[in-house]
Amino acid sequence: MKYQELEKTKEYKYGFTTDIESVKAPRGLNKDIIRFISKIKKEPEWMLNWRLKAYARLQSVKEPNWQKPKYPKINYQNLYYYSAPKSVKNKPKNIDEVDPKLIETYAKLGIPLKEQEKLSGIAVDAVFDSVSVATTFKKKLTEKGIIFCPISEAIQKHSDLVKKYLGSVIPITDHYFATLNSAVFTDGSFVYVPEGVRCPMELSTYFRINASQTGQFERTLIIADKGSYVSYLEGCTAPMRDENQLHAANVELVAFDDAEIKYSTVQNWYPGDKDGKGGIYNFVTKRGVCRGKNSKISWTQVETGSAITWKYPSCILQGDNSVGEFYSIAITNNHQKADTGTKMIHLGKNTKSKIISKGISAGHADNTYRGLVDISKNASRARNYTQCDSLLMGNKCGAHTVPYIKNKNSSAIVEHEATTSKINEDQLYYCNQRGLDQEEAVSLIINGFCKEVLQQLPMEFAVEAQKLVDISLEGSVG
Amino acid sequence: MLEIKNLQVSINNKQIIKGLNLTIKPGELHAVMGPNGSGKSTLANVLSGKNGYEISGELNFNGKSLKKIPTEKRAQRGIFLAFQYPLEIPGVNTNNFLKTSLNSIRKAKGEKEIDSLSFLKLVKEKTSELGIDEKILSRQLNVGFSGGEKKKNEILQMKILDPNLSILDETDSGLDIDALRIIAKGVNSSRNKKKSFLVITHYQRLLDYIKPDFVHVLSDGKIVKTGCSELAEEVEKTGYKKLN
Ligand SMILES: Nc1ncnc2c1ncn2[C@@H]1O[C@H](COP(=O)(O)OP(=O)(O)O)[C@@H](O)[C@H]1O
Ligand SMILES: [Mg+2]
């Protein structure tokens, strides 16, 4: 690659802004704003009351402060909690009616929405600021009884399902950001896969933050009924801005007997500039419950963006023989910070969990793996295997591993392995000697380091993720 | 092909090579023998362009100075080093590495990238020619390879990349007779009037299988004696000490 081309790719590719007229709620957080959101989404009364309950709760809880990356105080009264393109107000019935500007935005992000250009084999829900703007392949999924729609639509059309499961995994009292999200969440995806159905395609949501000074409060709920299977993937990007923007999502997964949910994230929010100015605060609560026996939930995340990433996708292994997995790549460069990991809560017998975490730090970045393996008294013969590998590039970055283990059952087996290494000069030399230049050599070694996690991604996304890994680290080795 | 004049090399203010002269012509195979610590690997590393050395003297390859050329460019121009201690790279498939490597070199030469099918054919041909088990190629690069497998893998890479100058750094050390034969076969089958070799070894044993045109004895950073194959036998009998 020529030097100039390299410079170009080093920039954040998705940093553009879409110039579109939007409808916003006034700034600030209060009951009226919540009523505004609920009303504009045409929500039933129970939903409004649920939000208001969360809001009341919020008044008595404090923001947590135990995480490693600290951030300046967020003025919650100064944020916008709702912003939507004007054209989405009267929701278009099919994709041909969607504002061409939005279609163009997603096309630029590599997500074609138009009927003729749809990605084959992947159904997409596109969320722009606070609303879903389009969902593809709806009909094909409906034929199988699968519901895949914006959660705002599900609240209207599948009220009983939402009412039953919303907050059943992450209660509104959980912690500050979960409570905040419960009060003001705007959109996200809803998935229901009926008993015995294997979802025939990847389901995917693409989150885009566009408006400035706006918080994005995503809410996603996925329910896999007995013996069903679904693979879901989310992607995220945002424009380049000097301000820090908040994305505080709640994602809940429920898997019944013999069901499997595979949830993958490719997170590429704007990371801030070279000096650490701007970027997204990605404070996310993700939790799944393996309610039924033999159920399985598998989280895979590739976290390359955001100024601060703070999340622990977790599994509550309630059903006997249920399985929880967490595969993670967290890459921090320049001044990015990440504090991420998982919690595996073993409640049922013979429950198994596996944690594979790969942290890569470059520049002045700081990367923490924090994880909990909690084995309850009744979880006989539970097993956990944890492997945390950290790779440092340069001398100014940091890597930390904070594993907590609580084991109350003597028949359980918990294994933990951790390594921290520097990118090895001799490995680079070996690759150079075989004709690979520095960038190629770094890419090869890093991709090797991340292999176990990249392999977990659906095929269509593995290549993209691999490229993203390369781009995130470009220029970090001399 | 290769011309080294009054080469002096230091690392961390310690001089390791102290005025070395060596010329290798196309088609020649030179053996360098020497005791541990005499600077053999340093010489190999300096030729392939490893960072961190302070170098003076002349270093020419095909008439052009190598001194400012980075490692990968030297590799692309046909210098190959079989490492004394091949590196392990976890998660990287050996086949994939070989293909990436071959394509980097082809691209640099302005040739088209090799397609998967032709590559597979090439690998099949070379592994069976050498009698190497193809299975090692589906494993992670050198990870968990035995000493012998690592060295065989180096020779396989040499065969596939088809360099002009091959430097073998103690490729024979620690090998059993069968593995040694594979290494020798790899070298002998590549010899022709265009290809040159610098075979670094600690023992004379390898030279029973590979007939050198010249043998040099390296001691304390200098070539203290040059001769033909008989010199290797002499070294084996009398030891390195006598030659100082
Ligand atoms: N990085 C280094 N710093 C200091 N001394 C070194 C370094 N690398 C090699 N040496 C020294 O240089 C000498 C030659 O080493 P080497 O070329 O590896 O010898 P050989 O391959 O002949 O056994 C040895 O004395 C070794 O200790
Ligand atoms: Mg040596």
Q: Identify from B11, B48, B50, B72 which residue to disrupt to test chain A contact, counting A C-beta atoms within 10 A and taking the largest count.
A: B72
Contacts of B153 in chain A (CB under 8 A): none
Considering only CA atoms, which residue is closest to atom 24 of ligand 1? Answer: B37
Ligand 1 lined by B51 (C-beta under 6 Å) = no
Stated as kind and residue range, the H or E segment containing A280 is strand A279-290
Residue keyed to tokens 């069903």: A228
Burial class of residue A134 in the structure, from the number of CB atoms within 10 Å of its CB (0-12 exposed, 13-18 middle, 19+ buried): buried
Rounded Cα distance, A200 and A198, in Å: 6
Please state the rounded mean pLDDT for residues B2-8.
96
Q: Is the pLDDT of residue A239 over 80?
A: no
Mean pLDDT of chain A: 88
Token duo for residue A75: 């003025």
Helix axes B147-161, B116-130, angle to 10 degrees: 120
Q: Are A238 and A267 in contact (CB under 8 A)?
A: no
Rounded Cα–Cα distance for residues B228 and A35 (Å) = 94
Which residue out of A419, A423, A427, A429 would a mutagenesis test of the B interface target, given it has the greatest number of B Cβ atoms within 10 Å?
A429
List A343's β-bridge partners, or say none: A372
- In angstroms, the CA A55 to CA A53 distance is 5
A270 Cβ contact list (under 8 Å, min separation 6):
A12, A14, A15, A237, A238, A239, A240, A241, A278, A279, A280, A305, A306
A351-364 mean pLDDT: 94
SS3 A370: strand
Q: What are phi and psi of A60, to 5 degrees?
A: -110, 5
Nearest CA in chain B to A445: B89
- Neighbour tally for A218: CB within 10 Å: 24
pLDDT bucket at A475, cuts 50 / 70 / 90: low
Closest CA to A433 of B215, B80, B228, B209: B80
What are A163's two structure tokens?
A: 């009412």
Predicted confidence at residue A91, as pLDDT, reads 60
Q: What is the pLDDT of residue A3?
A: 31
Cα A166 to Cα A97: distance, rounded to the nearest angstrom: 31
Q: Using CA atoms of A342, A348, A350, A354 in order, give the dihedral in degrees to the nearest 10.
A: -10
Q: Which helix (H) or strand (E) holds B122?
A: helix B116-130
For residues A86 and A129, is the Cβ–Cβ distance under 8 A? Answer: no
Residue B231 has pLDDT above 90, yes or no: no
What is the distance in A from the centroid of ligand 2 to the CA of B202?
9
pLDDT at residue A59 tops 70: yes
Give the CB-side neighbour count of residue B222, counting CA atoms within 13 A. Answer: 7
Place of tokens 């419960």: A182
Cα pseudo-dihedral B92, B93, B98, B101, rounded to 10: -30
Put simply, the answer to whether A449 touches B51 (Cβ < 8 Å) is no
Chain A contacts of B141, Cβ < 8 Å?
448
Chain A residue nearest residue B52, CA to CA: A425
3-state secondary structure of A221: strand
CA–CA gap between residue A326 and residue A314 (Å, rounded)? 8
Inter-chain touch B81–A433, beta carbons under 8 Å:
yes
- Quick: pLDDT tens for B168-177: 999 998 888 9
| Cross-chain CB nearest to B104 (options A435, A449, A450) | A435
Ligand 1: which of B16, B17, B168 to mutate, most ligand atoms within 8 Å of CB?
B16
Q: Judge contact between A241 and A278, C-beta under 8 A.
A: yes
| Cα B83 to middle of ligand 2, angstroms | 9
- Under 8 Å between Cβ of B232 and B225: no
Verify whether ligand 1 is closer than 6 Å to residue B13 (CB atom).
Answer: no
The values of phi and psi at residue B160, to 5°, are -75, -40
Residue that is written with structure tokens 């299975």 in the block: B135
Burial status of residue B192 (CB atoms within 10 A of its CB: 0-12, 13-18, 19 or more): exposed
> Which of A458, A469, A129 has the alpha carbon at shortest distance from A303?
A469
- pLDDT at residue B118 is higher than 60: yes
pLDDT digits (tens, 9 = 90+) for A119-175: 666 778 887 776 777 777 878 899 999 999 989 999 999 999 999 999 999 999 999
Q: Are B59 and B46 in contact (CB under 8 A)?
A: yes
List CB contacts (< 8 A) between B71 and chain A: 429, 432-433
- In this structure, are residues B155 and B82 in contact, taking their beta carbons and an 8 Å threshold? yes
Is there a contact between A445 and B92 if contact means CB atoms under 8 Å apart? yes
**Stated length of chain A:** 478
Can you tell me the mean pLDDT for A216-243? 88
Cα–ligand 1 centroid distance for B37 (angstroms): 6
Mean pLDDT of A381-403: 92
How much is the average pLDDT of A426-444? Answer: 94
Query: Which stretch of DSSP H or E encloses residue A453?
Result: helix A438-454
Average pLDDT over residues A444-473: 84
Query: How do strand A366-375 and strand A279-290 relate by DSSP bridges?
Result: unpaired
Token pair belonging to A425: 């000069």
Residues of B with CB below 8 A from A440's CB? Answer: 100, 104
In three-state secondary structure terms, A81 is coil
Determine what percent of chain B is predicted with pLDDT higher than 90.
81
| Model confidence band, residue A4 (pLDDT cutoffs 50, 70, 90) | very low
Residues in A lying within 8 Å of B, measured between beta carbons: 424-427, 429-438, 440-441, 444-445, 447-452
pLDDT of A262 above 90: yes
Report which of residues B201 and A21 the model is more confident about: B201
Place A93 in a pLDDT band, splitting at 50, 70 and 90. Answer: low
Q: Do B105 and A435 touch (CB under 8 A)?
A: yes
Structure tokens at A416: 């933990």
Q: Which residue has the higher pLDDT, A446 or A120?
A: A446
CA distance B179 to chain A (A): 22
Asked if B92's CB is within 8 angstroms of A447's CB, the reply is yes
Closest CB to B87 among A426, A438, A452:
A426
What are the residues whose beta carbons fall under 8 Å from the beta carbon of B199, sequence distance 6 or more?
B29, B30, B31, B32, B168, B171, B187, B206, B210, B212
Q: Is B135 helix (H, G, I), strand (E, B) or coil?
A: helix
pTM for the model stands at 0.85
Identify the weakest region by mean pLDDT among A49-58, B155-164, B180-189, B220-229: B220-229
Ordered domains of chain B (ranges, CATH): 2-243 (3.40.50.300)
- Closest by Cβ to B90, choosing from A436, A440, A448: A448
Region A95-101: mean pLDDT is 74
Q: Residue B204 — pLDDT band, cuts 50, 70, 90?
A: confident
What's the mean pLDDT in A28-48?
A: 93
**In this predicted complex, what is the ipTM?**
0.96
Residue in B92, B160, B161 to test binding to A, most A beta-carbons within 10 Å: B92
Q: Which residue has the higher pLDDT, A102 or A7?
A: A102
Q: What percent of chain A has pLDDT over 70?
A: 92
Q: Is the pLDDT of residue A9 over 50?
A: no
d(CA A189, CA A220) in angstroms, rounded, equals 5
User: pLDDT band at A94, cuts 50/70/90?
Assistant: low
Residue B36 near ligand 1, beta carbon < 6 Å: yes
Task: Return d(Cα B215, Cα B31) in angstroms, integer.
Answer: 5
Report the pLDDT value the prediction gives residue B80, as an integer from 0 to 100: 98
| Cross-chain residue pair A433–B91, CB shorter than 8 Å | no
The ligand 1 atom at the shortest distance from the C-alpha of residue B39 is 17
Residue in B48, B92, B161 closest to A444 by CB: B92
Q: What is the model's pLDDT at position A7?
A: 36
pLDDT of residue A430: 97
* Phi, psi of A105, rounded to the nearest 5 degrees: -55, -50
Protein residues with C-beta less than 5 angstroms from the ion ligand 2: B 40-41, 84
Identify whether the C-beta of residue A130 lies closer than 8 Å to the C-beta of residue A186. yes
Answer yes or no: is pLDDT of A377 > 90: yes
pLDDT tens column, A313-331: 999 999 999 999 999 999 9
Distance between CA atoms of residues A180 and A74, nearest Å: 13
Neighbours of B115 (CB within 10 A): 10
In the reported structure, the alpha carbon of residue B46 is separated from the centroid of ligand 1 by a whole-number distance in angstroms of: 12
Q: Which chain A residues are closer than 8 Å to B48 by Cβ?
A: 433
Q: Which residue of B has its CA nearest to A429?
A: B50
Quick count: other Cβ atoms within 10 Å of Cβ A96? 10
Torsion from C-alpha of A265, A130, A69, A16, nearest 10 degrees:
80
Q: Can you tell me the mean pLDDT for A417-432?
A: 91
pLDDT in tens, A294-315: 999 999 999 988 899 999 999 9
What confidence score (pLDDT) does residue A92 get?
56
d(CA A320, CA A352): 9
Cα separation of A84 and A133, whole Å?
Answer: 9
For residue A1, what pLDDT band results from cuts at 50, 70 and 90? very low
Of the ligands numbered here, which is closest to the C-alpha atom of B35?
Answer: 1
Mean pLDDT of all residues in A419-446: 92
